[in-house]
């Protein structure tokens, strides 16, 4: 193992399948590097501990500087590896906070579906019912709330501060308001008729953030706190105050390559990502949210069923892959629902089987966080679903 790759692993088994579907129930105390290896879970359906341990070996490794992984369901496992600061070499913190990126979209979808459950929003009502005057005349067929939730709205992307991390870096302390992003998007007119294609993009969920504020009369961040974070006991999950570029509380430094040099990108104003990707959380809090959501405690079961339904689209030969916020993925014959989140230096995944027989949440600090995320997913998430 890399001399600086501090690895700590905790493993717990659950003998009854119906128990400990919550966050890391009964996990043993974390073991420092150099102690006895983790004990395999007796249940044959438990986590593939060897594969999960292998994923953490050798960190930091030139790309990944830190990793926090939690696996739950039929048996639970958690592991940490790497350093929280490349300069000092201090080991990782299991409770570290991080930028959760587009996993924020799952919270946004849940807030909208709560309003649907309360009769304050209709899924198949046009967006203009809730945000009158938002769309110009070029939108002869306005998208519905459902279209926005399923990335089938036909809206075009709005203004941004760059398409790559290197382009965005000089502007990392600038503020680009969600209202500005949406205004520049709708001014372009529709890209296609609503429901014809599924195009994963941020603009749909930025608009949904505005809808939540309009319907509730409160700030999006406050609604997320009052309706989801506080009721579920997500005590370490929040949004930055306005353009605040800092992560408050324990956290790991984030790095990426800028101009061929390793650059610290921890401080960054993400306010333009807002209801799309500005959430700060911990792996324990995201696991708590994921389990509660799939148990029907966040939105009612009938609406959860719709959330986990991939829409049929008319003009996509490959078919759609997303329901509402969450993506459907099949691995080793197992259907998994999950969401990734990527910000400069931070990569996050939350995923689960529909019956919660397996869950995984991770936060990885990686230079490649905003590149093709599949190598990180294959390394840190898919081993949880090996059996």
**What one-character DSSP code corresponds to residue 127?**
G
What pLDDT is attached to residue 40? 45
Q: Residue 107: count other Cβ atoms within 10 Å of its Cβ.
A: 27
Task: For 79-138, write each residue's pLDDT tens digit.
Answer: 999 999 999 999 999 999 999 999 999 999 999 999 999 999 999 999 999 999 999 999
What pLDDT is attached to residue 317? 58
CA distance 166 to 238: 27
Q: Which residue numbers in the chain have pLDDT < 70? A: 1-43, 315-318
Q: Which domains does the chain have, with CATH numbers?
A: 1-94+362-387 (no CATH), 101-328 (3.40.710.10)
The distance in angstroms from the start CA to the end CA of the chain is 26
Three-class SS state of 171: helix
CA distance 227 to 265: 31
Which stretches does DSSP call E strand in 38-131? 64-73, 76-82, 98-99
What pLDDT is attached to residue 316? 63
CA distance 380 to 387: 15
């Amino acid at each position: 193992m890399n001399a600086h790759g501090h690895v700590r692993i905790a493993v717990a088994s659950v003998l009854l399948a119906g128990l400990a579907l919550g966050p890391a129930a009964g996990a043993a105390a974390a073991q420092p590097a150099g102690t006895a290896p983790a004990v395999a879970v007796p249940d044959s359906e438990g986590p593939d501990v060897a594969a999960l341990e292998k994923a953490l070996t050798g960190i930091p490794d030139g790309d990944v500087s830190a990793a926090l992984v939690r696996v739950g369901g039929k048996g639970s496992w958690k592991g940490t590896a790497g350093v929280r600061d490349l300069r000092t070499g201090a080991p990782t913190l299991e409770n570290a906070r991080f930028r959760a990126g587009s996993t924020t979209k799952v919270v946004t979808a849940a807030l909208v579906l709560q309003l649907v459950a309360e009769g304050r929003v209709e899924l198949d009502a046009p967006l203009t019912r809730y945000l009158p005057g938002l769309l110009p005349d070029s939108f002869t067929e306005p998208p519905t709330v459902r279209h926005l939730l399923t990335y089938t709205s036909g809206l075009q992307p709005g203004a941004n501060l760059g398409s790559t991390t290197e382009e965005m870096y000089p502007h990392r302390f600038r503020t680009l308001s969600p209202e500005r992003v949406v205004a520049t998007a709708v001014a372009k007119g529709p890209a296609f008729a609503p429901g014809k294609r599924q195009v994963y993009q941020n603009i749909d969920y930025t608009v949904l953030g505005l809808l939540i504020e309009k319907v509730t009369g409160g700030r999006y961040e406050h609604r997320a706190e009052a309706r989801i974070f506080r009721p579920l006991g997500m005590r370490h999950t929040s949004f930055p105050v306005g353009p605040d570029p800092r992560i408050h509380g324990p956290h790991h430094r984030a790095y990426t390559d800028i101009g061929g040099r390793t650059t610290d990108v921890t401080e960054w104003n993400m306010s333009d990502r807002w209801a799309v990707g500005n959430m700060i959380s911990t792996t324990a809090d995201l696991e708590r949210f994921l389990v509660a959501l799939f148990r029907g405690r966040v939105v009612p079961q009938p609406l959860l069923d719709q959330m986990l339904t991939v829409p049929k689209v008319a003009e996509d030969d490959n078919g759609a892959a997303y329901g509402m916020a969450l993506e459907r993925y099949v691995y080793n014959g197992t259907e998994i629902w999950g969401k990734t989140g990527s910000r400069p230096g931070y990569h996050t995944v939350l995923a689960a089987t529909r019956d919660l027989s397996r869950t995984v949440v991770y936060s990885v600090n990686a230079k490649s966080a905003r590149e093709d995320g599949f190598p990180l997913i294959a390394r840190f998430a898919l081993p949880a679903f090996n059996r």
